[in-house]
């Protein structure tokens, strides 16, 4: 073929070559993103752990959007589809009934109940699911996620293990900050509107007294409110804690009756709608709140 004809043909085919991947393109990076393991987390702390361990090698979605109370989560059809298509689903069994049902039907063999293998505490209505409020448990959850991701994507196992080790170091440092910051607290009774803080209380030397049980929407009886007020007076409690995403009126009522202050303590079940923080920054804010509220000298 004449050289000029060849040149003309190449110039005509060049745009097609670029589109089809014959020339420089970003198709390989797009393909890499689409083949990354897809992790679905039921609510925020599990999203955080998955992102810390998986890094850029995984895609992480959270079923509970910022500002939504996770106990009340109802799944859309699209979210059920997300669960069915995920390589790994992270959840806490018994915490979100809608998620439990979807996992059982769509992802029973591709899911992790992150409380399995942890030492669970008894709550007013059974095992307490709020394990993430002890940083030591977050470290263990990260290790479990790393092991499962390594099985899914063996060529990235070293990265997952390294990231899990870094998460453990971060959680150990956070635990040390709490231990040191709360070592001299005068008040050892932790009065909370919702019994979500038992793991934090046990780890750092407090006794939790909850107005309502494990479900923050449960209305406490007048008798229970009187009992909590008596505990506060008997133990010289000056602060009662309410939480994000839940109406503080019950805590405020008892605070008004006892002369205590009502202060927000975040159970980290989800981030507030406008939050710019993460697990570590919110926990550090909690530490400063506790140091003041528990009269830590």
CATH number at residue 112: 3.40.50.1980
Within-domain flag for 19: no
Q: Over the stretch 157-169, which tens digit does the pLDDT of each residue have?
A: 999 999 999 999 9
Same domain, 216 and 188: yes
If one counts the domains in the chain, the total is: 2
Name the residue with higher pLDDT: 39 or 8: 39
Q: Binning pLDDT at 50, 70 and 90, where does residue 33 land?
A: low
Please state the rounded mean pLDDT for residues 138-142. 98
Same domain, 140 and 226: no
pLDDT attached to residue 4:
39
Same domain, 143 and 186: no
| Domain final residue, candidates 175, 196, 229 | 175
pLDDT attached to residue 272:
84
| Domain final residue, candidates 157, 175, 193 | 175
| Domain final residue, candidates 127, 152, 175 | 175
Within-domain flag for 21: no
Q: Name 59's bridge partners.
A: 38
Residue 17 has pLDDT above 50, yes or no: no
Within-domain flag for 13: no
Please state the rounded mean pLDDT for residues 157-184. 98
Same domain, 111 and 198: no
Buried (b) or exposed (e) across 214-253, using 16+ Cβ within 10 A? bebebebeeebbeebbeebeeeebbbbbbbbbbebebbbb
Within-domain flag for 54: yes
Within-domain flag for 71: yes
Same domain, 135 and 192: no
Q: Over the stretch 50-105, which tens digit does the pLDDT of each residue have?
A: 999 999 999 999 999 998 889 889 999 999 999 999 999 999 999 999 999 999 99
Query: For a pLDDT cut of 70, what percent of the chain falls above it?
Result: 88
Token pair for 114: 């992150």
Q: Which of 203, 204, 199 is nearest to 181 (CA)?
A: 204
Same domain, 133 and 267: no
Q: Over the stretch 238-281, which tens digit does the pLDDT of each residue have?
A: 999 998 877 889 899 999 999 999 999 999 999 988 889 999 99
Q: Over the stretch 93-134, which tens digit does the pLDDT of each residue have?
A: 999 999 999 999 999 999 999 999 999 999 877 899 999 999
Same domain, 61 and 165: yes
| Domain interval for residue 255 | 179-293
Within-domain flag for 5: no
| Residue 112 and residue 152 in contact, taking contact as beta carbons nearer than 8 Å | no
Lowest mean pLDDT among 2-16, 23-37, 211-225, 256-270: 2-16
Same domain, 171 and 257: no
Cα end-to-end span (Å), the chain: 90
Same domain, 216 and 231: yes
Q: Which are the contacts of 16, defined by CB distance < 8 A and separation ≥ 6?
A: 22
């Amino acid at each position: 073929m004449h050289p000029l004809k060849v040149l003309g043909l190449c110039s005509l085919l060049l745009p097609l070559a670029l589109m089809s991947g014959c020339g420089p393109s970003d198709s390989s990076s797009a393909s890499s993103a689409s083949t990354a393991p897809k992790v679905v987390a039921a609510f925020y702390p599990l999203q955080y752990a998955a992102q810390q361990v998986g890094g850029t090698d995984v895609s992480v979605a959270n079923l509970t959007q910022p500002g939504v109370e996770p106990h009340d989560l109802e799944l859309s059809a699209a979210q059920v589809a997300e669960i069915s298509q995920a390589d790994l689903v992270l959840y806490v069994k018994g915490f979100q009934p809608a998620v439990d049902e979807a996992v059982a039907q769509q992802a029973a063999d591709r899911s992790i109940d992150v409380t399995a293998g942890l030492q669970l505490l008894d709550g007013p209505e059974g095992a307490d699911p709020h394990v993430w409020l002890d940083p030591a448990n977050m470290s263990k959850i990260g290790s479990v996620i790393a092991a499962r991701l390594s099985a899914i994507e063996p060529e990235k196992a070293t990265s997952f293990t390294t990231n899990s080790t870094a998460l453990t170091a971060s959680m150990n440092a956070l635990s040390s900050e709490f231990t040191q910051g709360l070592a001299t607290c005068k008040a050892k009774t932790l009065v909370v509107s919702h019994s979500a803080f038992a793991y934090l209380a046990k780890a750092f030397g407090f006794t939790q007294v909850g107005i309502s049980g494990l479900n923050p929407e449960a209305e406490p009886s007048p008798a229970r409110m009187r009992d909590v007020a008596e505990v506060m007076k008997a133990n010289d409690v000056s602060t009662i804690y309410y939480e994000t995403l839940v109406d503080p009126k019950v805590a405020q009522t008892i605070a008004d009756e006892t002369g205590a202050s009502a202060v927000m303590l975040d159970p980290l079940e989800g981030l507030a709608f406008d939050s710019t923080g993460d697990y570590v920054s919110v926990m550090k804010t909690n530490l400063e709140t506790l140091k003041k509220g528990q009269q830590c000298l």
